[in-house]
Amino acid sequence: DRYYVICSNLIGSCRGSTGPTSANPATGRPYGTDFPVVTVGDMVRAQRALLDALGIPTLLAVAGGSLGGMQALEWAVAYPERVRGCIPIATTARLGAQGVAWNAIARNAIMADPDWQGGHYHGTGRAPDAGIGVARMVGHVTYLSAGAMDEKFGRRLHDRADYSYALRDADFAVESYLRYQAASFAARFDANSYLYLSRALTYFDLARAWGGGDLARALARVRAATLLISFSSDWLYPPGDARAIADALASGGKVVTWHDLDVAYGHDSFLLEEARQAPLIGAFLEHIRGTR
């Protein structure tokens, strides 16, 4: 009843936007891995083009979690005159080596699946479902904290576990859970899109793109007030990454507020802790709405 939210699909995705599953005009077949490399900057330029087509010159705020937070930061730096507020949640100005490594493992799981076929599997009757399933398992484990995993599963056995040590059996509940997540994700998401979006996330480096390697210099372009939210148990996008952004903004005299919420769910906290985030975001929006 107060704000209008615009949420667009991503370039490179298999969810309604142009991506590897789209038809290549040159061949009439899906692009597959002939689709061009996509960056977070490309995603934001596409969003800007959408706003231009809609006739919307400025935004009260840009907001997002994880990859969405990277887009929010890119918006504030690339188009500072069009953004009054920026709300990056559970994100980073660049992924650390550990995050890069986990993403690489997930991508390699897909590409090692014989059914990937170099990315041109559409129309062959085979798809790298096993590979993207393993990639999803890796992602799920990195999104949760050790405490959250233990609380949710511990060493609880699967209902049909028999300690038979048959390698294809899932004796523990966490194994069954991961297999379920793998199968459901493979049924709804394209493997090539996963590769492209994962690579875009990995390439993102705000300091390198806009500041010659200096984050403070890149963020000097920002005019928007910034609300940063991180989570204490997020080891994939640790609170230190948010602190680095906050410090760089503050050093340039920018308006910035940082909240590190003490919660146990790891990176998934940004999806699960809505009740903790909503008052912070609501107050921030009301403040910048009244600021001219």
Q: Give me the active site residues, please.
A: 66, 234, 267
The total number of residues shown for the chain amounts to 292
Of 135, 137, 67, the residue nearest 104 (C-alpha): 135
Three-state secondary structure call for residue 212: coil
Residue 201 near residue 67, CB atoms below 8 Å: yes
Whole-angstrom distance, CA of residue 86 vs CA of residue 284: 10
Distances (CA, A) of 251 to 74, 79, 102, 208: 19, 20, 32, 18
Whole-angstrom distance, CA of residue 7 vs CA of residue 30: 25
The two three-digit tokens of residue 88, written as one number: 């990056």
Residue 219 near residue 245, CB atoms below 8 Å: yes
Q: What contacts 29, CB < 8 A, 6 or more positions away?
A: 23, 122, 123
The two three-digit tokens of residue 161, written as one number: 């576990």
For residue 228, the cross-strand partners are 258
Whole-angstrom distance, CA of residue 13 vs CA of residue 20: 8
